[in-house]
Each structure stands twice: as C-alpha cells, then as structure tokens.
Structure 1
Amino acid sequence: MLPTIANSMFRPYLHVFENTSVADYLPEYSLLQPFWDYLRVHHQDTLRSPLFPVIISVSGYFFFSTLFMVLDLLAPKLPLLDKYRIHPEKPVSWSDISKTLGLTIYQNLVYIFPVSVAQWYWRPPTQLPAAAPNLSELLCGVVGCTLLFDFQYYIWHVVHHKIQWLYTTFHAIHHEYYVTFSWVAQYLSAWELFTLGFWTTVNPLILQCHCLTTWAFMVFNVWISVEDHSGYDFPWSMHNLIPFQLWGGSIKHAMHHQKPLTNFAPFFGHMDWIFGTGTDLKHSPAVQEKKIKGKDL
C-alpha cells in the first residue's frame, strides 16, 4: 500500500527529471556571444586559418617578453622598479637579451615556420560553431588545460633532470641562466619547444574545448610562461593573489633555476607539494619588506 501511495505522489516529479538534463538548467545565452558573433562575421577567414593559433602564440610571446624587457632595461635606473626584481643584484644585460632573443628568432624561422606552413597546407580550416562558449565554460576549459599541462610538464621535467643524458642533451640549455628574465622562457632546445607546443595544441582537443577557449588558453599559457621567467615579484602577481601557494609563479621558478632539483611544476604548486619536490621561496625585496611589516602590525 505504502509503495503505491509513494509512487503516485512522486511520479510527477520523477517524470520531470526523466525528461530533462543538466544542460537544460545552464544559461542558454552566453555573455561572449556578441563578441563571438563579431569575430565570426568580420574575421572569419583569419580565425579559420590553421596558422591563426601559431600567430597568436608567437606574437603573444614577443609582445609579453618585450614588455618585461623594457622593465629590465629601466630597472637599473629606477630603484622603485628594481626592488620588485627577485634578484636586483643581477641586472639583465643587452648581451643576455641578444643571445636569448637570437635563439628564439632562429628556432621560429628554422622549426616553427616550416611546421606552421605544413600545418596550413595539410590541415583543414577550423570550424567555427555558431554558439559561443559560456563564460564559465571558457574559464573552466582554460583552467583544465592549464592543470593538464602542469601535470604533463612536471613529469617531463623530472625525467629530464633525473636522467643525465636527457638533461645534458635537451634541457641543460634552459639552465644556462641562473637568474631568469622574460626571454629565457623559450631559451630551449628544439625538442623541448616542440613538446610544449604539442601539449598546448593537444590538451584543448583532449578536453573538447570550444575554439575560442582553445585560443584563450594558448594566450594565457604564453603569458604565464613569460611571467614565470620574468624575474619580477609584484604585489599583483598571481602567486601573491592566489592563497596557500596554490600558484607557484615567478618566485617558484626563479628558485628552480637556483636549485634545479626542486620546484619542477611550471605553474601550480600542488605537484611539488604532493611529491615533496618544493623548496623555500625568495620574494623580491619590496614584497618581502611588505610581508615583514604586515607581520609586525
């Protein structure tokens, strides 16, 4: 008797859930839709080109690195700026810039350009869906791709430090600089450069991201890579804004270049915490001073 009564009472509600899905409760209209519509209407040919991801990645790298390069050149003359460098005692010289920038240009011409042309020739144009991703979908996609990239590079990084032949052959060039600056981000062997590019390209496919999310991840990935190597520790840097050392940032990677068998994860802090490969971090004099004053209050 009771099961019969319960069945009759709850059947209307069960009927609702049987004929709906979670997607029905998500907002149908994306805040990004007007922006996406504008891009599709006015820049469709550019966006569909297989060269577009390469263009935004390479141009983004040169743009972000140049911004920090300008700061590096101004820092010795501006004490208020210089004290935000993690190692103000080691100014960035023109010879450092020319050497790292020269290798970057060489690798882009010799390796990236031919691969990009081949991709443009063989790969079909990118399909542009009519609907834009929701803002939450875009943000989750970027974070997901970054987490996956962080995991992949942690493993690659540990292996290439632990196996001497791999380190000497493929990774040692990146550690020529004890103190990092922006152009060191891609001061890499061709093998490492291709590996990083492969994960950046494949991860959005693995997570089935919208193409707009993919491009956002690529630009974000370039930015955090450059910021990681910038050698600057500003109060508004991500590692100072995100609590509990969840984000490593420039201070974490700067310490990796001083203690190469520590801090293997490129961005987040959880992998080094889990496997015990983290170490103490050094802030810039300005941020360290603020932290000391904060404790005294």
Structure 2
Amino acid sequence: MVATIATTMLNATVSGLNSTNYYEILDEIAKYNVQLNWAERLWAAWYLWMQNDVLATGILSFVMHEVVYFGRSLPWIIIDAIPYFHKYKIQKDKRPTFKEQWDCAMLVLLGHCTVELPQIWLFHPIATYFGMDYGVPFPSLTKMAIQIIIFFIIEDAWHYCFHRALHYGFLYKSIHKLHHTYSAPFGLTAEYASPIEVMLLGFGVVGTPILWVLFTNDLHLFTMYAWIFFRLLQAIDAHSGYDFPWSLRTFIPFWAGADHHDLHHEKFIGNYASSFRWLDKIFDTEAFPEAQKKRREKKMAQMRARKTQ
C-alpha cells in the first residue's frame, strides 16, 4: 500500500535506491520532489522506509500521543513546584505531591500501553477502510482548521452526554469514580481513568473523525494527528488546576478551560462538557455559584407558586 502515500515519481525514485537507511530515502525524496515541504518529505520517507503502513501509522501514533501527553504535562509539574505561580492555583490548598504525580503518571502509562495501544494499532486499517488518506501532499491549513473545529464541536457533545451519564449511580461507582480520585486535578490526571471510561469517552475523540470520513470521504491522517494534538492540549490544560489571566477562556468566553473543569472535580457534579460551556448552559448543568443560586431561586419560586394555588 506504499503506492498510496506518494506520487508515482516518488516511488520510482526510491525503488531503485535499495536502501534501508531512512536518511538516504529522505535525501532522494528531497532531491526529486521539490514540490513537497519538509514535513511532507519526512512523512513520505517514513512510510517508504517502513514498508508497512499499519506498523508505520501505529508507531507514529503511539509515539506522538506519549510525547504530547507527557510533554504537555511536564510544564504543569514544574509550575506546581514554583511558588510564584501558586497565586493562580484554583484550589490553592490542594497542590499534588511528587508521589501523587508519579503514581498518576505510572497508572496512565500503564493504561496507554494496555488499553490505548491496541486501539491505536487498529485505527489505521479501520480508518483507511472508510476512506482516510495518508499520502502527500497534506491538505491545506484552511481545510484542516475547518475539520478540526467541527471535530471539537461534535466531540464536545459526545463527551457531555456520556460524561453526564457516568455520574449516575452504578456507572459512577464502577467506572467514573477512579477519575475523581483527585478532587483538585493536575495535568497528568487528564487520562487517569478506568479502561471502560477511556474507551467510551475516547471514542468521541477517535470515532468522530472516522464517522466524518465515512460520510464525506475527505480526511487526512495528518489532520487526525493535528486534531489529537489540540484535543490532548485541551484536556491536559483543563485538568491543570491553574487559571491565568492569559488563559484561553479569557479571550474565548465560551471556551471551558481549567476553571470550568476544576469546579467539576471539586463539586463532583455539573460542568460536564469537555471544550465548550454552551451545553452546560443550555441544559442548566453549570456548577458555578451563580448558576446554582439561580436554580435555588427558581426552585423556591416554584414552591411558593404551588403554595399559593
């Protein structure tokens, strides 16, 4: 299936090289395919060098996920250790200890290797079966941005519905309770969850692009990686426990942010959405004091109305 990732000229160029050296293949691609940018050359050389598309995508996906997840979590670990930033901590008296962060990281890593890795390996054959492209050149930045915004909106709705469901009775005790081990979350806790929850909520992240390509036949693996990258950043930052004056929610009022999700962990109810605030507002599940006050006032008014009847 290597022929699907590049032009006929690109394959012909490399086929006569008979090299097992990735950098030699990269040099040949750069020499005869000047229309490709550096990222596209690296990408094409990887698939041509691997000679196994499922393996190439599996390795690339797993490494990308681990680098982004733990790489983005590291700054929050450092921030927790610097007193200057503590004034921005939402729950100021609940900073994680090093042991808590270490234990959390080890459990998350275990989950990545045992629960997420098989799903990552199955992604390529499933997504390509439905029509996902992984060739070069990459799609335009405009197309990628539009698709990623759509994925954020769809996934937010999925997350809201199933996250809210996981807070009911048996589902909470048997599945979701593990994620609420820490009432004051920190970056690493974004994927600190039971295997069932990881698969259930993770389907919104991975399944949304698969459904998209099923109906549109228009999705590139590079767009998928960009989507996963931004969704991981969002999840980790929402669990960071810090709300800065320069946080994204300051500039985008409907963006959920850390203050939104931190309150969910503190109160154990409300603020169920992942990326945006509008579904909690529409369905009256906001956990902020102002929303709670309005609900109490509304309930009291209804009680008074019944008494006067």
Alignment TM class, shorter chain as reference: 0.7 to 0.9
Taking a change above 3 Å as real, the CA distance of residues 127 and 139 of structure 1, as seen in their structure-2 partners, is: closer
Q: CA deviation at 1:95?
A: 2.3
For residue 37 of structure 2, the aligned residue among 34, 37, 53 is 34
Aligned AA (2:57): P
1:249 aligns with 2:257: yes
The residue that corresponds to 1:240 in the other structure is 250
Gaps of 5+ in 1: 1-31, 283-297
Q: For the aligned residues, what is the CA RMSD?
A: 2.7
> How many angstroms apart in 1 are the aligned matches of 2:226 and 2:171?
32
Q: Which amino acid aligns with 2:77?
A: M
Residue by residue over 1:39-71, the C-alpha shift from the partner in whole angstroms, topping out at 9 and shown as x without a partner, is: 344433479423122321222111111221121
Partner of 2:183: 178
What are the equivalent positions in structure 2 for 1:41-120 lying under 5 Å apart?
41-45=44-48, 48=53, 49-51=56-58, 52-72=60-80, 74-75=81-82, 78=83, 80-116=84-120
Contact 2:239-2:258 at 8 Å conserved across structures: yes
Q: 1:168 aligns with which of 173, 176, 183?
A: 173
1:219 and 2:229 are equivalent in the alignment: yes
Contact 1:36 1:132 in 2 (8 A): no
Is residue 2:165 matched to residue 1:159?
yes
Letter in 2 for 1:207: W
CA distance in 1: counterparts of 2:158 and 2:126, whole angstroms:
27
Indicate conservation of the 8 Å contact 1:178/1:258, yes or no.
Answer: yes
**Aligned: 1:277 with 2:285:** yes
Instruction: Tell me the TM-score normalized by structure 2.
Output: 0.71
- With CA pairs under 8 Å and 6+ residues apart, which has the higher RCO, 1 or 2? 1
The percent identity for this pair of structures is 24
TM-score, scaled to structure 1 = 0.74
After the TM superposition, which of the residue ranges 54-63 and 44-53 deviates more from structure 2?
Answer: 44-53
| Partner residue, 1:228 | 238
Q: Tell me whether 1:210 sits opposite 2:220 in the alignment.
A: yes
Distance (Å, rounded) in 2 between the aligned partners of 1:246 and 1:41: 39
8 Å CA contact 1:204–1:214 kept in 2: the answer is yes
Q: Is the contact between residue 149 and residue 200 of structure 1 (CA under 8 Å) also seen in structure 2?
A: yes
Give yes or no for the alignment of 1:138 onto 2:141: no
Question: Does the CA contact (< 8 Å) of 1:251 and 1:281 recur in 2?
Answer: no
Pair 1:188 & 2:198 matched? no
Question: 1:252–1:281: 8 Å Cα contact kept in structure 2?
Answer: no
Deviations 1:248-284, CA, capped at 9 Å, x for gaps: 11000000011222101011011101101113279xx
